[in-house]
Structures are given as structure tokens and as C-alpha cells.
Chains A and B, each alone.
Chain A
């Protein structure tokens, strides 16, 4: 009995130190050495200010931006405290109604009557999805180009440059990062001649 108590106490202390202190500490040190930018949240800077994270979506309202997906985050759209979604099933009447309302709103905003890509009218799991599908981005091009006074072809080219394909052609789905696309859009609008210089790389 005493032997068991001793083993319990000693190993709980030993394992807490090993797997609860040393292990995360070692990962933190190694992460800081090799991947400091990723470990700190992949933060994106513009003119010295941190405008967000490359991995976390933001709310974009207004005609001159590409919009992200609807967010059902418990604290409010794109609020990270906490992350989450609506948890409504596909037969929930309120969910059906909200999808219908989003379709109507999207068609009014874009001034068209075509089918809306599904990602633009459904909420993500995290409430923080940074991406939309390329279809969802192309769908918004005419309206954004109009609002920004840019040629549609330039904006379409900007989207094309920001499309990330499936990894190895197999993993995940093609997507566009909305924050990066909008940052590139700002750059393009400020200096249309430099459109070619806009890449989908990191904006540090």
C-alpha cells in the first residue's frame, strides 16, 4: 500500500515536470528558434501596425472589400473569445432561414441573380475561417472593381494570384485568404501600376 502511494505521488510529480513543464518548454524554445513568426500567431504587419493574423479571418463590410464567410462565433462575428459556430443541423428551420436571407443579401449586394457559392452563405466551424473559395472570391469581383474604380480584369487577376491550390494537388480545398486579398487590393488601388508586384506571400 505504501509502495503504491509512493509510486503515485512520485510519478505524478515526475510526469508533471517532464510532460507538463519540460516538454512544452522544449517545444517553445525550438519553435522560437526555428519558427518564431508562426509560433507567435502568424501576425501580419502593414506600415508597422499589426493588422491581424494571416490565419484568422476578419469582418469586412462595405462595397470596397472582399467579404469573408458568415461567422457564428459565440461572442459575435469573428470574435475569438471564444471560437465556435452555430451547431445547427441542416434541418433546423432557423438555419434554413438564415441561409435564405444571406442568399438574398448577397444577390442584392452583387446586383446579380446567379447561384451563390456555398461558403459565402454558411458559417464556418471556428467562426474565424480566414478563407473563402476561389469561386466565392470571383463571385465578388465585379462589385469590388466597381467600388474601387478598378478594371475588372485587374481585380480578377489579383484573385487569381491569391488562389492557393490543394496541397500536393490532393489535400484540402482550393482557397483564397481574404485578409491577404484585401491587403493586396489596397496596394493595387493605391498604385495600379504595381499590380504585378502584389504576391500572395507573407506581408511582414
Chain B
């Protein structure tokens, strides 16, 4: 690890901490409809959209079933529309690259992927998708899938707070408010800053060039409305790139400053959600504790990734490669990395993008060292609760919290309770469902893929990394991350369908049980804390909850990890 890489990581986390708290407060005000200052600016937009939506978006609060039904209906309608748009893009305008419509299975996979906030991409965007489909389809769902997650968090927090025992709020109002007051303004600002750094924003198909040595390369560079899409794909934990190389492409992430801001945007809203939850349940210590849990897990794993990528590979040194960091080079393992970010900047991003369920990359995860591969897989396999997705990270962590409170209750001999509310058998079952089903989708999907030729034949690398490629694909899909060990040929029918199923399970089989859990908590009375109550904001409980997340993850995935990156770590050490 170099000093500058560590300092860069420290600066990033400091910025996240300083910005997330006020942003979380603002999020809570938006959800409570108390955003006065912002309302003056964006209020007309909000009122217009709500009028469009009609009676459903009245001030009536919904039961958990009603909230879930509205959320599912909206997401299903979005998938249909997105599927149609991707299939029909050849017939529509703004298709300067003359791309054909996407084939049915690929369009299905992509529609599911963007609506579930996964942004798994089984295609190279600049040679597949029209400007119209990118801007008016994929980017729209970058906003709406993030807004869906944030709305679900607001509803779940209302259930935990239980101030509104008639219901969990109105889905349509939450959706409109968070998009108009939070996602849109943040994206506008970030998009413009990114353009200033060199991210392109153009409706031309391409820029013709006459290279200095023309015979050796192509003579055009693909352009597009990139900055507007990159801003929201970073902020909304989406991660789907405008270009195949994602944020490693110089037109998508041109400078160290753009890289820092994009990396900050990965973590910003997921971290803010912790503080928003604290504000929504009127106990800010709980929000700070959730943030602390995330940081406690993230920090050591990030350092492992940084160390792994910066280390020299002995066999390469013997071959005559200089990987040592010095004044004139960052050094480290630079295969699949960009010089302007270096090994440290790429390892930091890799940890951040898998901790949060973003999945954008600024280097090829397929070329990461085994140590960093272990970290990226492990962070996703926590169920994306270490920062996680916008909204989904915190409500996913709440599922673990319910389990941890139960375990702690067993240890101290008290009935489990959180925020003064008793947690009973129904809540435990729902929390366990939300944790176990996505994990089962990862392991079963991987097992099936390894067993059938259609799955096992799609790998690029030999040996243990071949297994890692498959495990990573289902881990990424079922946890709605979207990054890949991209050697895997994911465009095959087996993976387009299998991963679409995994993405659906990972998204809705967490949202619905957690809404149900919140629904049953909403109508439960809260008792005032006594001297014997478990203090769920104390450092001891923070560590206990972090341990619960890690132990559940380790029990579920240690055997699979041992077959992939762990084997590779030993082999790399011996090579």
C-alpha cells in the first residue's frame, strides 16, 4: 500500500461521513414532506407529477400489502416498457449507430437488470444500444430503481417507527418526492462537474478522427449523452455503463478528480440512508450505529484489496517487470487498470462498488488479484448490507439487525426488542427469509451452472478462477450488484435467463418480506426503554451486529470462496 492510496481512501471516507449526515437529514425531511427550502424550487414539478398520477397518489397511507402491490406493479410495468423499447430501438429515432433491436432473451435480461437496480450488462453498450434506449430507457430506470429502493426504505422506517399505525405511507408520493427533490438535483450537479472533467455529453453518434498512425487503429470515437447517465448510475447504486469498459473508459471517467467524485457518489446515498433511517425513527443514534456497522466491516476488507493490488507478483519480477511504487510510477498489478487511477485507486473503487450494490467498475474485476477478488465477492455476499443499494442496504441490514437482537436477547435472557418494540416469531421468520433466499439463489445458481455444459462452458480463465467467474456472476446478480468477472460469456441463454431469475429474487424477495415485517411492527405498541433494555446504539452492539453479518456470510459462503479465490491466493503465493 502506498501513502497516497491510503490518503485517497481516507479522504473518500471522510467526505462520505461529512456529506452523508446532512444528506440523510434532508432525505428524511423529503419523506416526511417537511422539505420546505427544496419545495420552493422543485415543488411545482412534484405537484405536476402527483396530479398526473391521479387518485392513487392521494395522501392516503397504504398498508404494507398495498405499498408492496403498488411497488411491484410499477416495477413490472417498467420492465415491460423497457423490454419493448430495447426490442424496438431500431424503429425509433436517435439511433446513430444503426443498432438492431436487442434479441428477446438479452432484452429480458437487461430490462430485469435495470429495473432491479442491478445493471448487469450482458452486452457492450456502445455497439448494442441506441442513444434513445440509453437515455429514455436505461437512464430513466437508473432513477426509478433507485427511487424504488429509497421509497421502500422510507416505508420500512415508518413501520419501525410506528408513528403512523394505519400504514406505511404512499408509494407514489415517496417515489415522486425522492426523484424530484433528491436524485434529480444531485445528478444535475454531478453531471455538469463530470463534463468539466471531460465526460462527453453529445447526441452525435461519433467523432471522426485522423490518428497520427491511421493504419493501426479505428478512425472514429463513439459519443453520446454520457455525463447525464453516468451521474445517476453512480449516485443511484446502479452501475450500468454507457460504454463497455464502464468507468474505466476515459469518456466516462477521464481524470483522478472525476474518479474521486464518482467513487464518492457510489457511497454517498447508501451512507446517507443510515442517517435518514435514524431521523425517520426519531432516534439518530440508531442511524449512526448502522453507519458504524458498515464502516467496521468495510475498512479492513478495503485494506486487504489495496494491499493485494499494490503488491508485486514474484513471477513477474523474475520476468523483468518493475511493479514497485516510486516517484515516477504508482506500480502494482496494472493488468486491467488505467494508469491515471493506478492499482490503489482501482482497488479502492472495487471495494466501494461491491460494498455498495453499485457494480460500476473503473478497472476489470476479471483481472484483479485473488485477495481483491475475495474482498469483492465477500462484500457482495454480506447480502449487500455494507452500504448496499440506495435504500436496500439499510433495510437489508435491518434484517440482520432483527437476527442480532434475537441472538443478543438469548444471551442476556430478555425478549428481543428494537426501538421499544417486541420482535416476535413472525418478524424472525420474515428477516430469515429476506437473508436466506438471495443467498440460496447464489449457491443454487452457481451449482446448476457448474453442473450443466451451458453454464460451465462459458468461462474464460482456467482453474479456480473459472469457478470464481460463475460464482461472481450469481453473487452479483442475486445481490443486485451488477459487476462481473467479465471473462464469462454472459450473453448465452443460460445466463441471461438464470441471472434474470437471480436478480428478481435478490430484489423483491428482500423488499416484500421487509415490508411485511415493517407492516407487523407498525401496529405494535412501543414500550419505554428500561435499564435492562438492549442498547442497540452502543459500540458493543455495533460490533455484535457486524459479527452477525460476517458470521452468517461466512457460514453460507466460506466453502464456495475456498474453491475460488482462496485456492488462487495459495497458487499465486507459490508461483
Contacts and interface: CB of A to CB of B under 8 A. Distances in A.
A179 B212 contact: yes
A60 B207 contact: no
Nearest to A115: B322
A173 B465 contact: no
A63 B465 CA distance: 38
Classify chain B: how many residues form its interface, as a range: 35 or more
A87 B49 contact: no
A40 B333 contact: no
Contact of B8 (A74, A118, A170): A170
A34 B317 CA distance: 47
B366 A87 contact: yes
B198 A167 contact: no
Given A24-B139, A126-B248, A18 B49 contact: yes
Given A20-B135, A172-B256, A74 B210 contact: no
Which among A15, A40, A42 has the greatest number of chain B C-beta atoms within 10 A?
A15
A14 to B, nearest CB: 5
B201 A27 contact: yes
B567 to A, nearest CB: 10
B275 interface: no
Interface stretch (B50-58, B396-404, B420-428): B50-58
A1 to B, nearest CB: 9
Contacts of B176: 11
Contacts of B204: 40
Interface in B407-442: none
B320 A107 contact: yes
Contacts of A57: 250
A94 B400 CA distance: 43
Nearest to B344: A173
B339 A7 contact: no
B83 to A, nearest CB: 13
Given A83-B249, A91-B463, A172 B341 contact: yes
Interface stretch (B103-111, B185-193, B380-388): B185-193
B463 to A, nearest CB: 7
Interface stretch (B215-223, B277-285, B449-457, B504-512): B215-223
A77 B137 CA distance: 31
A4 B172 CA distance: 9
Given A58-B213, A92-B462, A169-B4, A31 B201 contact: yes
Given A88-B366, A118-B332, A172-B256, A19 B172 contact: no
Interface stretch (B29-37, B225-233, B517-525, B554-562): B225-233
A38 B259 CA distance: 16
Interface in A1-52: 3-16, 18-21, 23-24, 26-28, 30-32, 34-35, 38-43, 49-52
B313 A122 contact: no
B245 A84 contact: yes
A117 B463 CA distance: 28
A79 interface: yes
B460 interface: yes
B248 A28 contact: no
Nearest to B466: A89
Nearest to A113: B320
Nearest to B337: A125
Contacts of B340: 129, 131, 172-173, 175
A174 interface: yes
A85 to B, nearest CB: 5
Contact of B229 (A5, A24, A96, A122): A24
B330 A133 contact: yes
25 contacts: A28-B225, A31-B195, A42-B198, A43-B209, A51-B209, A53-B209, A56-B251, A57-B250, A58-B217, A80-B220, A80-B222, A85-B245, A89-B366, A90-B333, A91-B370, A91-B568, A99-B335, A125-B337, A125-B361, A132-B339, A172-B255, A172-B342, A173-B345, A174-B330, A175-B340
Given A7-B54, A24-B229, A54-B198, 19 more contacts: A7-B70, A15-B144, A18-B184, A19-B144, A19-B179, A27-B188, A39-B227, A53-B207, A53-B221, A53-B251, A76-B217, A83-B244, A85-B364, A87-B460, A89-B366, A91-B575, A92-B465, A133-B328, A173-B256
Interface of B: 4, 7-8, 11, 45, 48-49, 52-57, 69-70, 73-74, 77-78, 81, 124-127, 135-137, 139-140, 143-144, 172, 175-176, 179-180, 184, 187-188, 191-192, 195-204, 207-213, 216-218, 220-223, 225, 227-229, 231-232, 243-245, 248-251, 254-257, 259-260, 313, 315-317, 319-323, 326-342, 344-346, 361-364, 366-370, 373, 460-465, 485-487, 568, 571-572, 575
Interface of A: 3-16, 18-21, 23-24, 26-28, 30-32, 34-35, 38-43, 49-62, 65, 69, 74-93, 95-96, 99-100, 103, 107, 113, 115-119, 121-136, 138, 163, 166-167, 169-175, 179, 182-183
4 closest A-B pairs by beta carbon, nearest first, are A172-B256, A87-B366, A173-B330, A173-B342
